[in-house]
Chain A
């Protein structure tokens, strides 16, 4: 079972690399925001898989809940800021 979780975790890391491409190469800020939000979701799953591998899932659930919360709020604040100031370049 541990090997299965490890393989799935490595697969998720490869998917994170694809999202990282969009987060760095995106022509404007909105692409980068979407990429980082997707990376946040995958990081959540990687944390839970690590918890399953180390057999201390309850500890890692707390950490992943906090990360989900901060990802949500950060994405919202960024979107609000872009809407208010209207800067989509850089």
Chain B
């Protein structure tokens, strides 16, 4: 539905700003311990960057960067990272999501292992949130494309 926008100013500013938005989102994810942020917030900002690209440069070019299939795969990978870290802790002898059990694998002290475990989980959460929000954006904005649903009897 969103055709390519012809406005020079908005297109140029959006194209210059998107790498900084994505870097800012990764900063928010990685610094979850020290300042407000974490996985969910960083994922939303990442998705906002892709929404900006989609609104200004047209949906076709954004689909080349983040297709719906890639978004589906990434959301599953995010959940897999989260659950996988928990099961890794079980394999190494602790409880589910007991990050202290990662000391043997990462060769750091127990508090640092907990911190790194939380960081890994936040990365998984950010990936999943970004992928799901991009999917929602794509499905809302392509709702009246022809040939989308073939189950209607009208």
Contacts and interface: CB of A to CB of B under 8 A. Distances in A.
- In the complex, is A directly touching B at CB under 8 Å? yes
Interface of A: 58-59, 62-63, 65-66, 69-70, 73, 76-77, 80, 84
B28 interface: yes
Contacts of A77: 51, 55
Interface in B47-69: 48, 51-52, 55-56
Given A62-B36, A69-B21, A80 B45 contact: no
A66 B56 CA distance: 20
Interface of B: 1-2, 5, 10, 21, 24, 28, 35-37, 41, 45, 48, 51-52, 55-56
A70 B56 contact: no
Contacts of B55: 73, 76-77, 80
Contacts of A59: 35-36
Given A58-B35, A62-B35, 15 more contacts: A62-B28, A62-B37, A65-B24, A69-B21, A69-B24, A69-B45, A70-B48, A76-B55, A76-B56, A77-B51, A77-B55, A80-B2, A80-B5, A80-B55, A84-B1
A70 B51 CA distance: 11
A84 B28 CA distance: 34
A63 B41 CA distance: 10
Contacts of B41: 66
